[in-house]
């Protein structure tokens, strides 16, 4: 596999566009919005990978700029900025609008009808994805249902401070990154999706390695993930989306077990600059429990170079136990969202002030680190 070029999120340089022909300017500006269009069955079978702009393997370009579109009346509810398919949470069976309160044959018939309608839309291609490849209906009814048992029963995630996330408008959630494999981002996504009272959906920014891996690329796009670059982040914030970023990157998830819960460098403050340009609040997020799922006691740099990975982890169980060694340990997780740090009171040119960016970056980092220490003191056990 070709070596993956990791594009740091804090790189504000202008990036070239993909095969679609739309691009961003030096300051992250965008071309005039164009309405998106509903895709037919043939186009849909190509998958959301095409939304990446046809970039070659190993280098993923930011997506072309296009505006959102109103959904046609096809019997399904429109998607809002929160990313929900129905305007309210799906029921336990994954069918929007069925809260499980109705019982008997009527409730069963509704579930069956909803399931058949869902299958019909998937088979005919009569559903919508946005310009980033995000498939709200598939995420709500299938992908979140697949992640939820891991979230609720395996890691038993406890969520705190979800009320600090605004009910509407763009906001940037900044979290620590750990765990050898990036499961913490997915669990944070489920936490927002299932617990936020306004049914918001978190759009994660990911390294370009994610978008050159088969299958992973397709699933990441459908879950609403996009490239960790300033252009894509600003577009999402401007659309009123909730955006998640983990500035530690590979330095965070690939650090040795002996350095657990010690935050790595947050880069040059690119996420702060993006938030300042959009006037979006920054919400620090601290995640405890992910560090212990794959205790990384070594790193095979030779294998990492051969496979094109930033690191190749050696844990007490992997690769010694084969596939069984890839099963994460069932640790107890806590995810806490801190109080927002407002940025709308700064002038537009503040985004170019390096002193201000350094101070805000340090403030976010210190708040996350302090909360991590506090949660660790309160934790009774790694597993309980």
Q: What's the rounded Cα separation, in Å, for the pair 203 and 270?
A: 17
Q: What's the rounded Cα separation, in Å, for the pair 292 and 290?
A: 6
Other beta carbons within 10 Å of 123: 10
Task: Look at residue 308 and tell me whether its pLDDT is greater than 80.
Answer: yes
The candidate with the shortest Cα–Cα distance to 365, out of 148, 112, 175, is 175
Work out the average pLDDT over 317-332: 94
Residue that the structure tokens 């019909």 belong to: 120
Residue 6, SS3 per DSSP: coil
Tell me the pLDDT tens digit for each residue of 3-28: 444 444 444 433 444 333 333 333 33
- Residue 4: asked if its preceding bond is cis (omega within 30°), the reply is no
Confidence category of residue 312, pLDDT binned at 50, 70, 90: very high
Burial of 36: CB neighbours in 10 Å, binned 0-12, 13-18, 19+: middle
Q: Using CA of residue 317, residue 322, residue 324, residue 328, what is the dihedral sign?
A: positive
The confidence score (pLDDT) of residue 67 equals: 41
Contact 12, 269 (CB under 8 A): no
Residue 342: φ, ψ to 5°: -75, 145
The set of residues, in sequence order, having a beta carbon less than 8 Å from that of 276 and lying 6+ positions away, is: 343, 346, 350, 351, 356, 357, 360
Other beta carbons within 10 Å of 348: 9
Tell me the pLDDT tens digit for each residue of 27-54: 334 444 444 434 433 333 333 333 334 4
The confidence score (pLDDT) of residue 104 equals: 58
- Greatest mean pLDDT range, 102-106, 148-152, 207-211: 148-152
The confidence score (pLDDT) of residue 269 equals: 79
Residue that the structure tokens 């790189």 belong to: 11
Confidence category of residue 268, pLDDT binned at 50, 70, 90: confident
Name the pairing type of β-strands 226-227 and 202-206.
parallel
The confidence score (pLDDT) of residue 299 equals: 94
- Mean pLDDT across the chain: 80
Higher pLDDT, 156 or 70: 156
CA 111 to chain centre: 29
Confidence category of residue 176, pLDDT binned at 50, 70, 90: very high
Instruction: State pTM to two decimals.
Output: 0.73
Contact 133, 167 (CB under 8 A): no
The confidence score (pLDDT) of residue 96 equals: 44
Tell me the pLDDT tens digit for each residue of 111-140: 899 889 999 998 998 889 999 999 999 999
The confidence score (pLDDT) of residue 60 equals: 54
The confidence score (pLDDT) of residue 154 equals: 98
Confidence category of residue 97, pLDDT binned at 50, 70, 90: very low
The confidence score (pLDDT) of residue 349 equals: 86
Name the pairing type of β-strands 282-288 and 334-337.
antiparallel
Q: What's the rounded Cα separation, in Å, for the pair 116 and 338?
A: 41
Helix (H) / strand (E) containing 336 = strand 334-337
Residue 205, SS3 per DSSP: strand
């Amino acid at each position: 596999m070709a070596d993956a070029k990791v594009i740091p999120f804090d790189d504000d340089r202008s990036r070239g566009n993909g095969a679609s022909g739309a691009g961003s300017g030096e300051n992250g500006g965008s071309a005039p919005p164009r309405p998106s269009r509903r895709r037919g069955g043939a186009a849909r079978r190509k998958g959301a990978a095409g939304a990446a702009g046809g970039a070659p393997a190993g280098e993923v370009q930011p997506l072309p700029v296009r505006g959102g579109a109103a959904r046609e009346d096809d019997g399904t509810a429109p998607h809002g900025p929160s990313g929900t398919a129905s305007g309210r949470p799906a029921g336990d069976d994954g069918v929007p609008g069925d809260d499980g309160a109705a019982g008997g044959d009527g409730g069963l018939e509704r579930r069956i009808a909803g399931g058949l309608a869902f299958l019909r839309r998937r088979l005919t291609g009569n559903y919508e994805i946005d310009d980033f490849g995000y498939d709200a209906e598939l995420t709500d009814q299938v992908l979140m249902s697949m992640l939820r048992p891991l979230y609720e029963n395996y890691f038993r995630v406890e969520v705190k401070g979800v009320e600090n996330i605004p009910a509407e408008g763009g906001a940037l959630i900044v979290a620590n990154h750990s765990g050898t494999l990036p499961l913490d981002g997915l669990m944070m996504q489920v936490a927002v999706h299932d617990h936020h009272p306004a049914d918001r959906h978190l759009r994660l920014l990911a390294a370009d390695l994610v978008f050159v891996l088969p299958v992973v690329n397709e699933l990441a796009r459908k879950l609403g993930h996009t490239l960790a670059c300033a252009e894509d982040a600003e577009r999402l914030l401007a659309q009123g989306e909730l955006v998640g970023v983990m500035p530690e990157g590979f330095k965070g998830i690939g650090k040795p077990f002996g350095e657990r819960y010690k935050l790595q460098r947050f880069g040059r403050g690119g996420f702060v600059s993006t938030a300042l340009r959009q006037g979006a609040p920054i919400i620090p997020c601290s995640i405890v429990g992910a560090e212990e799922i794959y205790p990384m006691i070594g790193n095979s740099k030779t294998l990492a170079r051969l496979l094109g990975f930033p690191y190749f982890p050696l844990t007490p169980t992997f690769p010694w136990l084969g596939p069984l060694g890839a099963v994460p340990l069932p640790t107890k997780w806590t995810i806490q969202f801190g109080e927002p740090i407002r940025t709308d009171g700064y002038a537009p040119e503040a985004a170019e002030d390096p002193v201000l960016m350094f101070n805000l970056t340090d403030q976010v980092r210190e708040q996350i680190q302090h909360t991590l220490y506090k949660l660790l003191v309160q934790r009774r056990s790694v597993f309980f």
